[in-house]
């Protein structure tokens, strides 16, 4: 069984920890992973990490939490940082109205800049959405009207059904994390059950949100296997079939990761 962790933050692990994290991933059948950008200045480290391991990819972007730390980047600047062959996506960017760590207007400008970078490069945008369903859907539509189609996924999906459906309607993908395995996530599992199979992805969002049965522990890419198992059960698929499905979906969306 070959799984891909489509969203993790490997820069949270020290150089000493990383070899064992990667070994456990490989033992769990997690053959590739994407380490996700949250600040532009992190790009050189992500690039070095991706160059050091054949199965690590990376993305470039500014997390909504960090949107006010620096002036909002020009889309061209974000796009230029993805020239490297292992930079396969943009993000994560989006809106987080739960923590509101940056003013909402700045978060929106930041999100729009990332959408424009996705349009310019043809690379998929990893979207962080928390308590901002309506504005996420609205900005996706507005920027599509303005600048044309772009590829994207809603990462660590925990929003409402309407946003999942709006995303799918616009050609987007939906990525499920350990939240899917939590006992109280009944509604989330119902959404996961109902979405089109060809739009499903799995991720850890490590080091956050470890799945059951390791909830509360530090998460790492190996543990995406637990989320994949629950998604397989939810969809009535064998684990192997679910792994093949999500891997095929990943390759279709992240075209540079071929
Ligand atoms: Zn996120």
Q: 240 alpha carbon to ligand 1 midpoint, in Å?
A: 27
- Going through 43-202 in order, the beta strands assigned E by DSSP cover 56-60, 87-96, 125-130, 152-154, 173-176, 200-202
Ligand 1 centre to CA of 243 (Å) is 22
Spell out where 191-234 has E strands. Answer: 200-202
Residue 233 Cα to ligand 1 midpoint, Å, equals: 25
Strand order in the sheet with 152-154: 3-8, 30-35, 56-60, 87-96, 125-130, 152-154, 173-176, 200-202
Which residues face 32 on adjacent strands? 4
pLDDT tens by residue, 119-174: 999 999 999 999 999 999 999 999 999 999 999 999 999 999 999 999 999 999 99
State the pLDDT at residue 122: 98
The CA 22 to ligand 1 mean position distance, Å, reads 21
Distance between CA atoms of 184 and 181, rounded to whole angstroms? 9
Give the DSSP H/E element, type plus range, for residue 8. Answer: strand 3-8
Q: What is the pLDDT of residues 54-104, one digit of tens each?
A: 999 999 999 999 999 999 999 999 999 999 999 999 999 999 999 999 999
Distance 241 CA to ligand 1 centre (A): 27
The CA 182 to ligand 1 mean position distance, Å, reads 18
Centre of ligand 1 from the C-alpha of residue 143, in Å: 21
Contacts of 31 (CB under 8 A, 6+ apart): 2, 3, 4, 55
Cα(15) to ligand 1 centroid in Å equals 23
Q: Is 31 helix (H, G, I), strand (E, B) or coil?
A: strand
- Looking at the DSSP bridge assignments, the partners of residue 135 are none
Distance of CA 92 from the midpoint of ligand 1 (Å): 6
Q: How many other C-beta atoms are found inside a 10 Å radius of the C-beta of residue 183?
A: 7
């Amino acid at each position: 069984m070959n799984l891909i962790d489509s969203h993790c933050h490997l820069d949270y692990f020290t150089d000493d920890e990383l070899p064992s994290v990667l070994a456990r991933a490989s033992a769990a059948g997690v053959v590739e992973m994407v380490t996700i950008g949250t600040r532009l200045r992190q790009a050189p480290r992500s690039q070095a990490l991706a160059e050091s391991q054949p199965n690590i990819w990376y993305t470039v972007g500014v997390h909504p939490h960090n949107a006010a730390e620096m002036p909002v980047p020009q889309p061209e600047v974000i796009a230029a940082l993805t020239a490297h062959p292992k930079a396969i996506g943009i993000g994560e960017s989006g809106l987080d109205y739960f923590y509101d760590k940056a003013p909402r207007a700045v978060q929106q400008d930041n999100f729009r800049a990332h959408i424009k970078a996705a349009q310019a490069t043809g690379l998929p945008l990893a979207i962080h959405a928390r308590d901002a369903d309506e504005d996420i859907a609205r900005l996706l539509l507005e920027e599509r009207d303005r600048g044309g189609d772009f590829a994207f996924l809603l990462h660590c999906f925990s929003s409402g059904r309407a946003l999942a459906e709006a995303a799918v309607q616009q050609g987007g993908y939906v990525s499920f994390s350990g939240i899917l395995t939590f006992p109280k996530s009944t509604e989330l599992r119902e959404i996961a059950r109902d979405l089109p199979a060809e739009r499903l992805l799995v991720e850890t969002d490590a080091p956050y949100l470890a799945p059951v049965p390791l909830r509360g522990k530090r998460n790492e890419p190996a543990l995406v296997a637990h989320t994949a198992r629950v998604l397989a059960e939810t969809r009535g698929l064998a684990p192997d079939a679910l792994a093949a499905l999500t891997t095929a979906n990943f390759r279709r969306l992240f075209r540079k990761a071929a």
